Structure 1
Amino acid sequence: MSKTIHVEEAPQFPLPFSHAVRSGDFVYVSGQVGVNPANNEVVGNTIEEQTRQCLANLEIILGKEGLTLDHVIKVNAFVSRSEDFPGYNRTYAEVFSSPYPARTTAPVDLGAYLVEIDVIAYAPAKRGESQ
């Protein structure tokens, strides 16, 4: 059985998707971009600023289920410009702690957005904890 998750404090878009879906012990969070949840305006014009905001938006959604980024076991990231990969990696390493989640990062044209990230979180334990 799965449960859809909608979070009022997260960015709202007129698109057909749920912020997240919980299925058993896993929470699948839809892709988030670096926008301010209050007004959906892009935050900053650097990959670092947008990555921080994107991850903050993901954490808002995870928080609805009592989770944090420490529960994330898989990250899928889409970066608009391949030259931004170093800045994305630096910011990612500042926000996530070791042991890091499994990860895929791919270059994709995102228009005004420099990054989009979706995650899978495992609810019973944080990364690095045994069950």
Structure 2
Amino acid sequence: MKKWLVVLGLIVSMWSCESPEKEGVTYLQTEEFAKLNRPYSQAVAYDDILYVSGQIGALPNGKIVEGGIEAETIQTMENLKAILETNGTSMNKVIKCTCMLADMAEFGVMSAAYVKYFPENKPARSALQGDLPLGAKVEIECMAALD
């Protein structure tokens, strides 16, 4: 019985301790993005990795580019590229992408446009299907190494 109480006491004391904030976390967004008051950051830098929030094929005016999945994928990749370069990295340093599609039947067309942005080293990648914001056909997030 004593052993059980000691273990229970340790568990309770662990729950009551606050974990310290991690140093080296930076939440990043442009002034234009900050004005939109979105509930997320464009990117977060932690140690030597930049985590970029999901991007869709939206133009600077907020409207989805016309032309279907290929045009949206190209605009999405350009949006990712701009965020990466603004924050000190590049498409060459992308290590992982997650691709979300409204219709998995368009995976081949999306993939053909996507792969052009990674001519040498292909990052790890996952893909899934679901409803996307603003009626977008594709959303892509990524992680990239920082210099």
Question: Partners of 1:77 and 1:96 in 2: how far apart?
Answer: 14
How far does the alpha carbon of each residue in 1:109-129 deviate from its partner, in whole angstroms, 9 at most, with x for none? 2251000010000113xxxxx
Q: CA deviation at 1:8?
A: 3.9
The answer as to 2:43 corresponding to 1:49 is: no
Distance 2:128 2:93 in 1: 22
Amino acid in the other structure paired with 2:117:
V
> Which residue of 55, 59, 63 corresponds with 1:32?
55
Q: Indicate the RMSD between aligned Cα atoms, in angstroms.
A: 1.8
Classify the secondary structure of the residue corresponding to 2:116: helix
Aligned to 1:19: 42
In 2, Cα distance between the equivalents of 1:36 and 1:78?
A: 18
1:121 equivalent in alignment to 2:144: yes
| Residues 55, 141 of structure 2: 8 Å contact kept | yes
Tell me whether 75-84 or 89-98 shows the greater mean CA deviation: 89-98
Deviation at 1:9, TM superposition (A): 6.0
**Per-residue deviation, residues 44-71 of structure 1 (Å, max 9, x unmatched):** 1411100010111111111122211111
Q: Which amino acid aligns with 1:4?
A: Y
Q: Confirm or deny: 8 A CA contact 2:92 2:121 kept in the other structure.
A: no
Moved over 3 A (4+): 8-14
Unmatched 5+ stretches in structure 2: 1-23
- Does residue 107 in structure 1 map to residue 126 in structure 2? no
Size of the alignment, in residue pairs?
A: 123
TM-score (norm 2): 0.77
| Structure 1: segments with no counterpart, 5+ residues | 125-131
Instruction: Report what 2:116 is aligned to.
Output: 94
Shift of 1:93: 1.5
Q: For residues 69-117 of structure 1, what are the alpha-carbon distances to aligned partners after superposition, in whole Å with 9 as ceiling and x for unaligned? A: 1110000110111111010111011222222000001111225100001
Answer with 1 or 2: which has the greater Rg: 2
Aligned counterpart, 1:59: 81
Aligned identity (percent) is 33
- Counterpart check, 1:6 vs 2:12: no
Q: Residues of 2 paired with 1:11 and 1:53: CA distance?
A: 21
Q: Quick one: which amino acid aligns to residue 87 of structure 1?
A: V
